[in-house]
Structure 1
Amino acid sequence: MNPFIEEKYPLPEELSILNLAKQGDSKAIEKILKAHQALIYNVILRMVYDPDQAADITQDILIKVMQELPSFRGESRLGTWIYRIAVNHALRIKKTEAETMITDFTQYGKDLDSIENTRFTQKKVEAIERKLLIEEAKIGCMMGMLLCLNREQRIVFILGEIFSVSDAIGSELLKISRANFRKKLSRARKDLYQFMNEKCGLVNKKNPCRCSRKTKGFIRLGIVNPKELKFSERSLANIKTYAPKKSDDFDEYIEPKYAELYRNHKFLIPPNLIKNIRSMFQDRKFREIFNLLQEDEIDGADPR
């Protein structure tokens, strides 16, 4: 049910579960939400940087999907419709704390330069833990780079470059033309990859910035917390496992080595958001608001 893969719709399995969900079947609704929560969470996480905020925003999106399910008319794939809701929500939410701290590439570059290069050779740190901390610093730094893009560029880059969304689906999600989606993606790539080429040692060996040399500085600044890793735990696999095979026939700016760095990032397991929503199902008022009352509940309702 990956919404980023182009397939004909409606899919039979989507229709059957959708009909039940639109009738207020809580198990069908839960199945739909559960099928998409992890992918939504991983997209939103790269929009806002903070896992806790990403979980809250993802839950808001899932509730909104549940609320609007009765209005779905099957004019697109269910997954595409769900991600259109997610994209619209991500573009309209209040600016997050991370977005106020990281504003553009110039400022971010200066902040990185200000962190002293120190070799991470603490004997007290086990080799495995050291590797995890460096990985945490690398992913955190690269996700910080995404925040230097404006929101629209960021969501286009996350969808088109990291999750390999085609221009056909991308244009549908953002309600823009395919040409416009390609143009926005090309601009986002150019801005981000130019910065990486000038600063990041992962793609340009001439650059002095190395993840292993910045990790201790990140720890001192509280950006990396050895006791509570944000990005290196709770992972299932890497992103490219969940992304469709990339087709570059519409690309104007192809730099595989840059994109691959992002696609190799962890695909994280979100908190159990469905558990929270399931508990909401137990509340009669909640079910009434979302038209989830069964016939016997309606028949037995207090006439007042």
Structure 2
Amino acid sequence: MKLLRVGEPGAERVGALQEDGRLLDLTGVLDAGRAWTFADLDAARAAIAAGGLPELAHEGVRTGSPVPRPAAVICIGLNYRDHAEETGAAIPAEPIIFMKMPSTVIGPNDTVLVPRGSEKTDYEVELGVVLGKQARYLDSAEEGLAAVAGYVVSHDVSEREFQLERGGTWDKGKNCETFNPLGPWFVTADEVADPHQLGLRLWVNGELRQDGSTSNLIFGIGEVIRYLSQFLVLEAGDVINTGTPAGVALGMADPKPYLRPGDVVEVEIDGLGRMRHEMGAA
């Protein structure tokens, strides 16, 4: 099942995207403004199977984040071996964790704002994992994967000077407004045969910058969730950004091709769709 949220910010409606391009209106079945549990998704499947759902117009309509405003966006840093190597970082012995605020989340085609004073705004394509139930002190990676409701394309935008040169934690460089587009669809876990065999790609102004695969994750998805559950209580609707492959501007030779207002970024993951957003000025 592919779920799509369409409409202006704060007035989105949710629908199920069909293979023929129709969007079936799930208003009254799924709340467009809150996290969805496994039970909610089962109710949506039942409503689709029963038939009779009206269609929801979506051509030419803004697409919002497919995840209703998450309470938490939890990110794993340096989780691809090639990305760690390109940035000169050691391969981590345990997952590196940082957080992004819910205010960073925007739709797949919304404008991403380069912060005031920024000279080093960078891009990162990532597989976003969405939970469908609470995860607390899990015992195995298998239990971790069983907590996954679905997957989304995520763009973990970063400001490298704020992140790495201004002291303290990474948070200043990761939490600027609009710094986490999600979309275009929420694809339920049953439609992703193997989340560890997905190609990830990112283009800037038509130039391919990142071209990787989730097969190169250092810490797999189930293990990441198991690990996080030892320290955090994860809830349905929480999003986990699982890391980015090589090709970021930070890892390139000087002058590094950081993002500027007017640049166009396209982000794609196999089976999960494609996002396109223009960079603007804050």
Q: Which has the higher strand share?
A: 2
| Structure number with larger C-alpha Rg | 1
Normalised by the length of structure 2, the TM-score is: 0.27
* Higher fraction of helix: 1
Q: TM-score, normalised by structure 1?
A: 0.26
